[in-house]
Structure 1
Amino acid sequence: MSSSTPGASPPSASRRLPMHWLGVVPFAVFVLLFLIMPTMKIVLGAFQTPEGGFTLDNIAGLFTPSILGAYWISIKISVASALLGCAIGFAVAAAVVLGGLPGWIRSPLLTFSGVASNFAGVPLAFAFLATLGPAGMITIFLDTQLGINLRMLGFNILSFWGLTLTYLFFQIPLMILIITPALDGLKKEWKEAASILGATDAQYWRLVAFPILLPSLLGTFALLFANAFGAVATAYALTGSSLNIVPIVLFAQIRGDVLGNAYLGYAIAFGMIVITSIANAIYIWLRARSERWIK
């Protein structure tokens, strides 16, 4: 005679892993191996000596003039590319969503933006060198056909503005992808109500639409800043050692020659993680606020 309670589930059922969790396992393993463990290695290495002891010397090394200067240049490039990316991307998205352009333009634009926002690294650097470099296609065309010498005008693809222009190739599409749903969330009833109350288009945007979109705009700016600040391969492939930015300084420390200091490199990478984490946290917080407004 069984003593189990009628209707009770077998003991083994409570210990069985639900099948729907199996789909998350590969993602969890990937994040553990290629995000969490490398990040922890960097964080621990930033506070270690070569012998394995604890030290703050690596962190103190971040405050040397050369490294502080590299951080400052990287921050300025990230701010410039984020501002321009937000402004141009918002204008493009607004023209498609609210500007009355033909509906067939939207799908190709978003498809291209999805591809271009992930196009970076050596291929992107090569594309801009082949186009706007010293022997680039457009550079030679302007010089030979129109008599315009970009170098004489002060433009150099291996400079601050050259790298900022290169970053815009993936910053603008990323802005378009993120801000388009926010623009879609602007209800027509809001503009109609503002018009009935006598508001002009400028007043509607200043008093209604812009305050609603502001959290999305600020959050996207923070995301674009983090995106540019963490771009390593594009910066190194394009400028090499001609521009003293954080990714270049980091590579110089970890490449393994006698002049490098791997543990100072860990500290530099740790500083980059802190800055990008703050920017991403701001983006997540502001995006949550904007979603509550749109709903």
Structure 2
Amino acid sequence: MTTAPTPVPAPAAADPGGGPGAVAAGPATPPPAPRARRLRGGSWLAALPLLAFFAIGFGLPAIAIATGAFTLSSDAETGAGSFTTANVTDSVQGAYWTALLSSVRLSALTALIGTVVGLPLAQAVVTSRFRAVREAVLTASGVLANFGGLPLAFAFVATLGNAGEITKLFHLTEHGWTLYGFTGLSIAYLYFLVPLMVLTITPALDGLRRQWREAAANNRATALQYWRHVALPILLPSLLGGYVLLFGSAFAAYATAAAMVGATVPLISRSIADALSGNVLVGQGNLALALSLDMIVVAVLVMAVYLPLQRRSARWLS
């Protein structure tokens, strides 16, 4: 007579209520180790040199500028002074206000042209079949974006000045051309702003996915419709961010304008140099600090627009 095998009891199911008869479904997740917390704290320690450099290189000068802008020097020997708002008030009046508006106008116009011209150039680079062309254009853009100051002014004077080679070759002076004005200075600024825009917008163009273009083509959308309804709305934050970056670069430029047009085109950077050197009035150092404070305010407003646009663009193109 065969004995039936004793059935093996099935394992008890886990009690969702967590009673005494419950069987754990698996090992509990251990809490984060203290070492991980120490590592996260160490990352802040690693950033301390950068924060210290930022505080020394940018924080202290900004504090000195803000303090000096609201100080009226009364003793040339001791440097003692009293609080005043006259410097800031004078910096937004008369010729100084005209220089500030001229700088904003020049920067806004050249940044707009640089954005409009740089976008199709960057798109041509991104869609190029030849990798060598892409690398060569991006390398040249990196060089030209940092080519400014006295060398750029000399290059334009030698080519498009009153006695420049291109001016004499095409008789531009007879047609009313002059380099030493607002138009000539704008063209000189575009020499480094357009390459800067190419470098800025190229990563965003690389982020456009091929599936988006294919989906638009499957829905019988033309290339113009694709750019109008798909590509440009996605690229808009990057385009606006690039425009803001170009605006800041043109707004802060000094050496090119000082060497090429001098006082012909009033600029805020040139006014600061004149106040510091005493070309107009002696002892206007605090007024120069007030003019510098005006530039800092404009730069802060520019960055306040630029950073949110960059974050919004990164969410789409990541």
Distance 2:280 2:218 in 1: 73
Distance 2:235 2:46 in 1: 38
Aligned to 2:30: none
Asked if 1:94 is matched to 2:123, the reply is: yes
The equivalent position to 1:108 in structure 2, one of 132, 136, 141, is 136
The CA deviation at 1:68 is 1.5
The CA deviation at 1:35 is 2.2
The equivalent position to 1:62 in structure 2, one of 68, 87, 91, is 91
1:206-225 → structure 2 map (5 Å cutoff)? 206-225=228-247
1:1-295 → structure 2 map (5 Å cutoff)? 21=45, 25=49, 27-51=50-74, 52-98=81-127, 100-142=128-170, 148=171, 150-256=172-278, 259-260=281-282, 261-295=284-318
Contact 2:70-2:87 at 8 Å conserved across structures = yes
Name stretches of at least 5 consecutive residues in structure 2 with no aligned partner. Answer: 1-33, 75-80
User: Please, what TM-score do these two structures have when normalized by structure 2?
Assistant: 0.80
Name stretches of at least 5 consecutive residues in structure 1 with no aligned partner. Answer: 1-7, 143-147
The CA deviation at 1:33 is 3.5
Aligned to 2:21: none
Q: 1:28 to 1:137 in 2, by over 3 A?
A: farther
Larger Rg: 2
Q: Secondary structure at the match of 1:49?
A: strand
Matched letter for residue 291 of structure 1: A
Q: Which sits farther off after the overlay, 250-259 or 160-169?
A: 250-259
Contact 2:274-2:280 at 8 Å conserved across structures = no
Q: Secondary structure at the match of 1:172?
A: helix
Contact 1:95-1:101 at 8 Å conserved across structures = no
Distance 1:289 1:104 in 2: 32
* Cα-to-partner distance string for 1:16-36 (whole Å, 9 max, x where unaligned): x959956862x4454334322
The CA deviation at 1:47 is 0.8
Distance 1:112 1:83 in 2: 21
Matched letter for residue 223 of structure 1: L
Distance 1:62 1:41 in 2: 17
The CA deviation at 1:202 is 1.0
Distance 2:189 2:258 in 1: 13
Matched letter for residue 149 of structure 2: G
Paired residues in the alignment total 275
Contact 2:121-2:198 at 8 Å conserved across structures = yes
* Cα-to-partner distance string for 1:152-182 (whole Å, 9 max, x where unaligned): 3232211001111111111011101110000
Distance 2:97 2:183 in 1: 20
User: Please, what TM-score do these two structures have when normalized by structure 1?
Assistant: 0.86
Contact 2:244-2:302 at 8 Å conserved across structures = yes
Q: Secondary structure at the match of 1:118?
A: coil
Q: Which sits farther off after the overlay, 274-283 or 221-230?
A: 274-283
Which protein has greater RCO, CA pairs closer than 8 Å, 6+ apart?
A: 1
Q: Secondary structure at the match of 1:53?
A: strand
Matched letter for residue 226 of structure 1: G
Q: 1:35 to 1:20 in 2, by over 3 A?
A: closer
Q: 1:30 to 1:154 in 2, by over 3 A?
A: farther
Q: Secondary structure at the match of 1:155?
A: coil
Q: Which sits farther off after the overlay, 62-71 or 256-265?
A: 256-265
Matched letter for residue 64 of structure 2: K
Contact 1:235-1:247 at 8 Å conserved across structures = no
Contact 2:99-2:268 at 8 Å conserved across structures = yes
Aligned to 1:5: none
Contact 2:104-2:251 at 8 Å conserved across structures = yes
The CA deviation at 1:126 is 1.3
The CA deviation at 1:42 is 1.2
Identity among equivalent pairs (%): 41
